[in-house]
Amino acid sequence: MKQELETPAAIPEARSAQVQRMTGGQAVVRYLIHEGVTHILGIFGHGNVQLGEAIAQERGRIRYILVKNEQSAVHAAAAYAKLTGKPLAVTTSVGPGATNMATGAAAARINRLPVLLLPGEVFADGVGPVLQQLESFKDETVNSALKPVSKYWTRVTRVEQLRRKMREAFDAMLEAGDEGPGVLCLPMDVQAEAADFDISLYFAPVDRAYPRICEAPEKIAGAVERLVASRRPVIIAGGGVLRSGAQRELVRFAERIGAPVVCTQSGIGAILWDHPLNLYSAGPTGTSCGTEMVQKADLVIGVGTRYSDFTTSNDTLWMSRPDFINVNICHFDVSKQRSYKLWGDAKRTLTALLDHLERRPAALSVKGAGSAYTNDSGYFREIQDSLAKWMKTADSWLSRDRVPVDQTAAIDVINRHAGDRSVVINAAGSLPGDLHRLWKNKDPEGKGYLMEYGYSTMGFEIAAGLGARLAMPEREIIVFVGDSSFLMASQELVTAVQQRLPFTVVVFDNRGNQSIRHLQQGSGFEDFSMEFDFADRPRAEYVPVDYEMIARGMGCRALRANSRATLQKALEEARTHKDRPTVIHLQCEKDDLMGGYGGWWDVPQPEVDAHGNFRERRSLYLEQKKKQVIR
């Protein structure tokens, strides 16, 4: 029997009502809407105006924000993801617009935050060279620079590929415990070409619920045996606690086993500041009490932490050779420190541990309820004694009152001003260390402290303020930014003015890169090229940068402060401004910064130098290296 071939003319008549013809740009934008993406940030160029047309067609269902720098767009999206767990999209033109995203993508990847990057790409049909194309003898384009800093990377060469690749990108970048940027490189011609999509498949319902996986009961029981045998347990709480929403379970667990809690930068918010088991932090930016208790621990329970160098003092904190129990949904992280592994969601795993502990009525416990804790053990009294000593030290820094204001005193003023639902933001310089030791978390939801300290990116802060405002329009947003970071990336203030997004920016003016200057001094290096002094008059005269005037020139409201009282007044006024950002130019003390309080950071000392000044320091450095316990 002769088979009849379907003619091209018959194909349109055979199409199902479920089939819709879309350009590549339309398919991308409509899928973003399907996944619940609320905003696209970016800058249009000749390499993505086709996508821009598709966005314009859907402007009632998704909002587009024109930024001033593509790196900042990624930072804003990352901050949004940190606070909501949901991605935004960023689009750029081909070439420099795309490569501008690399630093933002690296920060998002290291902090495991989902953002979708949509860089324009050269023609898929091979026509070239074109404007801003890098010609190469390899099958690469400049967008390949995003491969090392992305969780998912693909180049779309046919519109039909979007049927699969859009879903793949979201699946990859939202993988629990290993979230990160998804990159879809969109050639200019593919954005404009069209294909048929079965919308019942393309827009099929997607389950994005956070997985609540947990180890088998026998594994939980094994961990409980280790907990009961411990006499000096310490909990290190990381960002995974907040991602899981496990703050309440963590505190109950700490109370049940009588363990103090130290938080990583990402973990601040896991426990309220005034809980008697909160020791704030450990490591190079740690408190004396937190570092001391970790050094003396016989069991470290890491919950949602990846054990970075700033958590472990480059692996020199394990002086007592403790055992480890790790609770982590990331399979890579749960194996660190050769731990007893509890691979799973923090909330569910801690609940399982508590259930097992409740079956042992004579097991470890902090007796009492609420904040009135009592304990008969010497360990609890030791914790409280160490904490009391630290609080006395902290108060001596927080209570300072001079002009120009100390950075630590400014933190105290802002902390007192901030409400339970305020969000504070920072990333780089000397501020992260002071905040890690001194910030008093008052937010039971754990969303009040947004610190980008995985990549510690200068320029993250103001863009993150924009992203935080989009994520939480009902909350007060306060950005801590050093003068160097402000000068590196302040342009998104204009974006915030355009969008009428209010938040407060406090610019800490200490005349330069004081964090690294103090690192130079503390490491025995020459105090070299770190301040904003005139080249022909070093240390004698400084460039009079007027941050208040810069902010006004960008359309912001601007204020000036140099003391506790004037800062408090400026913060109160800033809170009343509802239509644009307010920038406070804060002149502060530059030379007197906090110390290390027992933590160590591996800053190599020169083996040979011209004057022989580093021989003794090199010897001390090598002695400290011997304390590293690489498990």
Single residue among 359, 391, 423 that ends a domain in this structure: 391
In a domain, 613, yes or no: yes
Beta-carbon-side half-sphere exposure of residue 417 (alpha carbons within 13 Å): 24
Task: Give the model's pLDDT for residue 128.
Answer: 64
- Please report which residue ranges of 1-57 form alpha helices under DSSP H: 11-14, 24-34, 49-57
* Residue ranges making up the domain that contains 456: 399-587
Beta carbons within 10 angstroms of residue 127's beta carbon: 10
Q: Taking Cα atoms as reference points, which of 440, 391, 390 lies closest to residue 412?
A: 440
Residues 313 and 222 placed together within one structural domain of the fold: yes
Does a cis peptide bond (omega within 30 degrees of 0) precede residue 544?
Answer: no
In a domain, 296, yes or no: yes
Sheet of strand 182-187: strand arrangement? 63-66, 39-42, 89-92, 116-121, 182-187, 152-155
3-state secondary structure of 511: coil
- The CATH number linked to 339 is 3.40.50.1220
Q: What angle do CA 285, 288, 291 make, to 5 degrees?
A: 70
Asked if the model's pLDDT at residue 586 lies above 50, the reply is yes
Residues 420 and 537 placed together within one structural domain of the fold: yes
For range 211-216, the mean pLDDT: 92
Residues 583 and 605 placed together within one structural domain of the fold: no
pLDDT, one tens digit per residue, over 533-561 is 888 888 888 999 999 999 999 999 999 99
- The CATH number linked to 101 is 3.40.50.970
Task: Give the model's pLDDT for residue 600.
Answer: 87
In a domain, 7, yes or no: no
- Please report which residue ranges of 340-459 form alpha helices under DSSP H: 346-358, 378-398, 407-417, 431-438
How far is C-alpha 628 from the chain's CA centre? Answer: 27
Single residue among 202, 237, 261 that ends a domain in this structure: 202
Per-residue b/e over 153-182, b at no fewer than 16 CB within 10 Å?
A: bbbbbebbbbbebbbebbebbbbbbbbbbb
Asked if the model's pLDDT at residue 511 lies above 60, the reply is yes
Residues 29 and 118 placed together within one structural domain of the fold: yes
Q: Taking Cα atoms as reference points, which of 299, 311, 310, 305 lies closest to residue 329?
A: 305
Residues 126 and 223 placed together within one structural domain of the fold: no
* Residue located via tokens 């007060």: 476
Residues 191 and 270 placed together within one structural domain of the fold: no
Which DSSP string do the residues of 285-354 spell out, in sequence order?
Answer: T--HHHHHHHHT-SEEEEES----HHHHTTTTS-TT--EEEEEESSHHHHTGGGPEEEES-HHHHHHHHH
pLDDT, one tens digit per residue, over 188-197 is 999 999 999 9
Tokens of 231: 């006499």
* Residue located via tokens 């860089």: 119
Instruction: Please report, as a single letter, which amino acid is at residue 211.
Output: P
Task: Give the model's pLDDT for residue 323.
Answer: 97
pLDDT, one tens digit per residue, over 139-176 is 678 999 999 999 999 999 999 999 999 999 999 999 99
For range 574-581, the mean pLDDT: 97
**Between 320 and 124, whose confidence is greater?**
320
Strand (E) or helix (H) holding 465: helix 460-471
Q: Taking Cα atoms as reference points, which of 344, 287, 338, 346 lies closest to residue 315?
A: 338
Residues 226 and 361 placed together within one structural domain of the fold: yes
In a domain, 611, yes or no: yes
pLDDT, one tens digit per residue, over 311-365 is 999 999 998 999 999 999 999 999 999 999 999 999 999 999 999 998 876 544 4
Cα(303)–Cα(250) distance, integer angstroms: 9
Residues 324 and 195 placed together within one structural domain of the fold: no
Q: How many domains does the chain have?
A: 4
3-state secondary structure of 87: coil
Cα(169)–Cα(116) distance, integer angstroms: 8
Single residue among 369, 391, 413 that ends a domain in this structure: 391
Residues 609 and 530 placed together within one structural domain of the fold: no
Cα(152)–Cα(216) distance, integer angstroms: 31
Phi and psi of 450, rounded to 5°?
Answer: -115, 100
Q: Which of 266-280, 295-309, 604-618 comes out lowest in average pLDDT?
A: 604-618
* Residue located via tokens 């008093």: 440
Beta carbons within 10 angstroms of residue 72's beta carbon: 28
Residues 368 and 424 placed together within one structural domain of the fold: no
In a domain, 528, yes or no: yes
pLDDT, one tens digit per residue, over 18-33 is 999 999 999 999 999 9
Per-residue b/e over 519-545, b at no fewer than 16 CB within 10 Å?
A: ebeeebbeeeebbbbeeeeeeeebeeb
In a domain, 9, yes or no: no
Residues 137 and 154 placed together within one structural domain of the fold: yes
Asked if the model's pLDDT at residue 129 lies above 50, the reply is yes
Asked if 316 contacts 631 with a C-beta cutoff of 8 angstroms, the reply is no
In a domain, 144, yes or no: yes
* 62 Rama sector, left if φ>0, alpha if ψ -120 to 50, beta otherwise: beta
Task: Give the model's pLDDT for residue 226.
Answer: 96
Cα(207)–Cα(437) distance, integer angstroms: 39
Q: Is the pTM of this model over 0.85?
A: yes
Per-residue b/e over 250-269, b at no fewer than 16 CB within 10 Å?
A: bbbbbbbbbbbbbbbbbbbb
Residues 292 and 438 placed together within one structural domain of the fold: no
In a domain, 10, yes or no: no
